[in-house]
Amino acid sequence: MPLTVDIEGGYAVNEESLANNIEQLFQLDICGINFEDQKVNHPNDELWAIEEQSHRIRTIQQVAAKLQKSVFINARTDLFFKNGKHSLDLVNEAIERTSAYAAAGADGIFIPGLTDRNLIEYFVQQSPLPVNVMVMDGMISNVELQDLGVKTTGIMCRPTCPAKKPYKENCEFFATAKEALLASYRPCKRCQPLSNPTKKSHSVLGSCRFNRGPERGLVGRISWRKTSGIQVYGARKRNFSCSCNVE
């Protein structure tokens, strides 16, 4: 499966260390990165100047070319996290950054923190790159984001996903995985909602026949029920019950 990595600011403060870190990542056969413009461990969360961050993006592409690798750079700007009050002027500043990052070799732009519908719509219309947003408090629905042209939003999971249980107000429920895909959700890599949980259908049917058959001992019956439950629902009974409570 193709692997993308969130490398924050590259864990580097100079060009040499950035190039070295990127080269090590390529040795792991990664195909994409999230790369943000906030300075590493800076006390005031200062952002790199547009020219500096653009040069850093070019450095990544130069390393990729040297190693004959292809990489998708999803450039992230923390401009909206750094500034609590969002305005059209701030969005235009973010668009200026996006245009420079695109010219330097970025393939996508990630704008966490921006939640205003009209500002997101304006940003998408002006951006030269596909736009990603972060689903958070105050964000409009994923269907609306899709209508605005936002490309990726959040992750879709089975209700029984073993990952940390989300807050109910941050969830959106769909009848099928196809509907979630159409709403621009990416499939979770832990619970794999696009896979078939009943691959061992013969075992599921065998469990059903066993439970309808004569008594063969309580321990054996419980074991078969656990096995079939995991195969049908993709999770143990306790996890499935928790997911139902979330819904």
Q: Is the domain of 21 the same as that of 135?
A: yes
Residue 217 domain-assigned (yes or no): yes
Residue 158 domain-assigned (yes or no): no
Q: Is the domain of 99 the same as that of 215?
A: no
Q: Is the domain of 41 the same as that of 141?
A: yes
pLDDT of residue 220: 58
Residue 196 domain-assigned (yes or no): no
Residue 187 domain-assigned (yes or no): no
Q: Which of 138, 153, 168 is the endpoint of a domain?
A: 153
21: left (phi over 0), alpha (psi -120 to 50) or beta: alpha
Q: Is the domain of 28 the same as that of 125?
A: yes
Measured over the CA atoms of residue 47, residue 85, residue 125 and residue 117, the dihedral's sign is: positive
Contacts of 66 (CB under 8 A, 6+ apart): none
Q: Is the domain of 119 the same as that of 39?
A: yes
pLDDT of residue 163: 58
* CA atoms of 146 and 142, how far apart (whole Å): 6
Residue 33 domain-assigned (yes or no): yes
- Residue 115: other Cβ atoms inside 10 A: 17
Domain span including residue 210? 201-246
Q: Is the domain of 17 the same as that of 116?
A: yes
Q: Is the domain of 148 the same as that of 218?
A: no
Exposed / middle / buried, residue 236 (Cβ in 10 Å: 0-12, 13-18, 19+)? middle
| Beta carbons of 39 and 12 less than 8 angstroms apart | no
Counting DSSP H helices and E strands in the chain, the numbers are 10, 7
CATH of the domain at 41: 3.20.20.60
Q: What is the pLDDT along the chain (247 residues), one digit of tens a residue?
A: 668 899 999 999 899 999 999 999 999 888 899 999 998 777 787 999 999 999 999 999 999 999 999 899 999 999 998 887 899 999 999 999 999 999 999 999 999 999 999 999 999 999 999 999 988 888 888 788 888 888 765 677 777 676 556 666 667 777 788 777 766 676 776 677 887 655 444 455 555 555 555 555 555 555 656 665 555 555 555 655 555 554 4
| pTM strictly above 0.75 | no
- Kindly state the greatest CA–CA separation across the chain: 76
Opening angle at CA 112, ends 161 and 98, nearest 5: 130
